Amino acid sequence: MIQLISIILFLVFLFLSSIHWYWAFGGKWGTQGVYPANPDGSPMRPPGIAATLIVAIGLLSFGIFYLIKGEFVSIELPFWLNKNGLWILTGIFIVRAIGDFKYLGFFKKIKNSKFAINDSKYYSPLCFAIGVLTLILGLDL
C-alpha cells in the first residue's frame, strides 16, 4: 500500500512540476484560471518566471520525497526531514484545501472567477486528496 501511494503521489507531482516547467519557459496552454482573480473579477498579476521555476522545483522535490519514503530511491535525508516531512506535507496540503477564506480553498468567499471555479472542482479536492494520502503514508510508516 505504501509503495502504491508513493508512486501515485510521485506521478501527480511529476505532472504538476512538468506543467510549471512548461509555463516557466513560455508555454501558454492551461494558463487560464490557474491563479486567483481580484474581487471585481480582474486577473491578478501572474507570477514571474523565477516564482514559477521555484514552484516547479518544489513540486518535483515533493515527488522525489515520496519516492524516498516509498523506498524506490535511496537518499539519506536529514533526520528532521525524514521524521517530520510527511507530517509537514500533510499540513501544507490540508491547509491549502481549507484555504485562506478569501481566494482559495473550500471556504473561499470569491467564488465566481475562472480560478475559483477550477479551485472548487480540481485544485482544492486534489490538495485534500494529497493531504489524506500523505497522512496515510505517515501513519503506515
Could you tell me if residue 38 is inside a domain?
A: no
CA atoms within 13 A on the CB side of 100: 7
Mean pLDDT, to the nearest integer, of 111-139? Answer: 95
Q: Name the band, by pLDDT with cuts 50, 70 and 90, for residue 141.
A: confident
Residues 6+ apart with CB under 8 A from 82: none
Could you tell me if residue 107 is inside a domain?
A: yes
Assess whether pLDDT exceeds 90 at residue 12.
yes
Return the pLDDT at 7.
Answer: 98
Indicate if 11 and 67 belong to the same structural domain. Answer: yes
Indicate if 59 and 117 belong to the same structural domain. Answer: no
Q: For residue range 34-80, list pLDDT tens digits in order.
A: 988 887 777 788 889 999 999 999 999 999 999 999 999 999 999 99
Indicate if 104 and 63 belong to the same structural domain. Answer: no
**Mean pLDDT score across all residues of the chain:** 94
Indicate if 63 and 85 belong to the same structural domain. Answer: no
Assess whether pLDDT exceeds 90 at residue 32.
no
How far, in Å, CA of 105 to CA of 44, rounded? 17
In the chain, the percentage of residues whose pLDDT exceeds 70 is 100
Structural domain boundaries, residue 10: 1-32+43-75
Indicate if 50 and 108 belong to the same structural domain. Answer: no
Return the pLDDT at 51.
Answer: 96
Q: Name the band, by pLDDT with cuts 50, 70 and 90, for residue 124.
A: very high
Indicate if 2 and 69 belong to the same structural domain. Answer: yes
The tally of domains found in the chain comes to 2
Distance of CA 79 to the CA centre of its chain: 24
**Residues 115/140, Cβ–Cβ less than 8 Å:** no
